[in-house]
Amino acid sequence: NGPISVFGISLDNWTLSDLLNDIKQACQANSSVKLQQYSFVNADCLNISCHNEAYRRSLKQSKRIFADGIGVRLACLSKGHPLRDNLNGTDMFPRLCELAAEQQLSIFLLGGEEGVAAATAENMLQHYSNLKIAGVHNGYFDMSGNSEENNQIVAQINQSNADILLVAMGAPLQERWLEDNKPQLNCSVGIGVGGLFDFYSN
Ligand code: UDP
């Protein structure tokens, strides 16, 4: 069950339950530990990683990288390693909300068009009565290093005291943003989740 290397990216062969346990532990760990980044990669992401060095670097400094979809599953199988699970933000999200509600961990939703993260929050709050959504923000802002807008959003996330930050801006942007802003963020966990809020907002 060790990691599987595909195109030089080391994929963790975990189940969704393993992932949720790890997130729980990361949130309970000493708060001096910096944000732990988790990434999902599908076949398209692996292709991008072959020619986008910055994306590759941001993936490699993730705490864990998970295989999303049939393309990566086949690539692993061709190397003789069957994957134990198909891991992606969409399947993880309801289970993560359940865990967060149970453990009183709060989630910040960053990304998507204006109003989409807020609609996602509203939907999830209806399903999980004890869930705490720490805050929301759209994913369209000036992300250039140290822009005032970017600093304000980082401050908003930190002031919300969120334990878990979901960044839904698509790959490779979300992984790069997490890597760039990690030193300033106080959340325990950051996860790039692609178009997740588009699916859960209506
Ligand atoms: N997005 C964003 N900011 C940007 C570009 C994209 O928040 O600057 C959002 C977009 O609104 C969409 C998501 O990122 O919700 C990308 O979804 P997509 O399905 O393309 O991502 P994937 O899951 O394929 O990585």
Residue type, 184: Q
pLDDT, tens only, 12-64: 999 999 999 999 999 998 666 689 999 999 999 999 999 999 999 999 999 99
Residue nearest to atom 6 of ligand 1 (CA): 169
Nearest CA to ligand 1 atom 20: 170
Ligand 1 pocket, mutate which of 116, 142, 169 (most atoms under 8 A from CB): 169
Residue ranges around ligand 1 (CB below 6 Å)? 111-113, 139-140, 168-171, 173, 194-195, 197-198
CA angle 162, 145, 172 (to 5 degrees): 70
Task: Give, for ligand 1, the residue of 46, 143, 198 to mutate: max count of ligand atoms closer than 8 Å to Cβ.
Answer: 198
Q: Which residues pair with 190 in a beta bridge?
A: 37, 165
This prediction has a pTM of: 0.97
Domains of the chain: residue spans and CATH: 4-200 (3.40.50)
111 touches 117 (CB < 8 A)? yes
The first and second tokens of residue 180, run together, are 């760039």
Q: Answer yes or no: is the ipTM higher than 0.95.
A: yes
Cα separations in angstroms, 144 against 23, 71, 108, 151, 160: 29, 33, 21, 10, 22
